[in-house]
Amino acid sequence: MKWDLVIEGGTVVTEHESYEANVYVKDGIISSISKEKLDGDALETVNAAGQYVLPGLIDTHVHSRDGGATHKEDFYHSTQAAAAGGITTIFEMPNTNPPVNNAENFHKQQENLTAKAHVDFGLWGICLGDLNINELEGLNESGVIGFKYFWGYAIDKQTFGLIYNYNEGMKNVIPPADDGEVYRMFEKVAKTGKTFAIHAENSELINHLTEEMKKTGRSDYDTLLASRPSLAEELTIQTGIAMAKQTGARLHILHVSSAEGVELIKRAQDEGYPITAETCPHFLFLTNEDYEKIGPEMKVYPLIKYKKDQERLWEGVREGVLSIVCSDHAPHTPEEKQADLWDAPAGMCGVETLAPLMLKAVSDKKITIQQLVSLLSTNPAKQFGVYPQKGSLQVGTDADFTIVDMNKEGTINKEKLHSKSKVSGFGGMSLKGIPVCTIVRGSIVMQDGDIQSEPAGRIIVSK
């Protein structure tokens, strides 16, 4: 058999162009992309006539909770959800138990996750200030795709779970680091040459305002927003940019939610600093006005903000100021999310709805299909050091593809999500443009919404 897989008659899309071609795969690698039909039999053929063949899409921001809070989610389910939603690679967040805080735990986590992975994955390393500053080089050598610092969060000392509603004086927590400690982390990560990614929210401002707002006795979304305003994001981005300028770190701002945030990042980029940023569908498709209908399920940190922020974020995506769109998949149980708005944990599912929602944006002419490929495949792969193995359609690279049918319509049904948790702010949203086939290194993992294979995902390391 000459080919293991042939994808016939589709329109191949890269970040720059689209053209009709057949794709030939052997041993998990792209062997040829040809407008002509090549000779030789294939073990498997996928007919992609009338459909787009995209380089495999990457979700760079996933919390699968494995190990640790596996009552909320685990890697088996999150990677099924990824495959069902057209994602071929995920980058897994490091605040698990044990956390990915040193080389030894990196390898433990690799082993834990590989057995359950339906798609390929990379691992983030965590920065815990002085607690693991001397482990960062080991994590770098192990192949983390980047370093994550939860700036503004306290972290549970035992479980390494995030403290969603922090009060000063809480016991058994690693409190947010001071700026001196943060500065040393910037320096250390800068030496590795890898990305230093920050959750950007100023905890001092938030703690103060939260105390004030809680005293009003109100627990509506606008009061919550008053306790975690755009200013919290702005302050931390500003400090982060200053530290990046000083240390040369490749700063990446995670899940940008505000117009002010976009402006600050744009200014730093215009000055020539290597600052990058991402946003998520919940900021692009929802605003404060949706709270009445959705309720606490849409509570995420940073909070979903106003229409003006949403509009600036879309502009930021189109301008390239925000070069990645990812899910921040952060499942909690429905019971946890039904608590009072102040007490409910922040986060919702997203890995399965990321690509469908961004395809909807293509149908609605908010972005082009080439821009989608840049945002969800090429840019993430380049940013995190795994290009062209991932994120490209080049001969000799991994045969990862997301095949999409732009004429197919649907509606997001939360109950049908593959995650353990069904918490999503997107239930009932109509879609146009659906991933119909997910292929990882030449193996069909999802076809027409059904998972087709046992876990065979592998780690991808960044060197």
Q: Which residues bind ligand DOR (CB under 6 A)?
A: 63, 162, 199, 300-301, 328, 330, 346-347
Q: Which is nearer to ligand DOR, 15 or 233 (CB)?
A: 233
* Radius of gyration of the chain from its Cα atoms, rounded to whole angstroms: 21
Q: Which is nearer to ligand DOR, 74 or 328 (CB)?
A: 328
Q: Which is nearer to ligand DOR, 233 or 400 (CB)?
A: 233
Least distance to ligand DOR, CB of residue 114, Å: 22
Q: Which is nearer to ligand DOR, 302 or 433 (CB)?
A: 302
Least distance to ligand DOR, CB of residue 272, Å: 29
Q: Which is nearer to ligand DOR, 204 or 319 (CB)?
A: 204
Cα torsion through 328, 80, 399, 407, rounded to 10:
-80
Least distance to ligand DOR, CB of residue 242, Å: 22
Least distance to ligand DOR, CB of residue 300, Å: 4
Q: Which is nearer to ligand DOR, 347 or 380 (CB)?
A: 347
Least distance to ligand DOR, CB of residue 78, Å: 12
Least distance to ligand DOR, CB of residue 69, Å: 9
Euclidean distance between CA atoms 324 and 378, whole angstroms: 9
SS (HEC) of 15-60: CCCEEEEEEEEECCEEEEEECCCCCCCEEEEEECCCCEEEECEEEE
Euclidean distance between CA atoms 406 and 383, whole angstroms: 28
Contact by Cβ (8 Å): 125, 144: yes
Least distance to ligand DOR, CB of residue 112, Å: 18
Helix H or strand E encompassing 61: strand 57-62
Q: In what order do the strands lie in the sheet with 173-174?
A: 162-163, 154-156, 173-174
Q: Which is nearer to ligand DOR, 197 or 357 (CB)?
A: 197
Cα 434–Cα 385–Cα 84 angle in degrees, nearest 5:
20
Contact by Cβ (8 Å): 281, 429: no
Contact by Cβ (8 Å): 175, 182: no
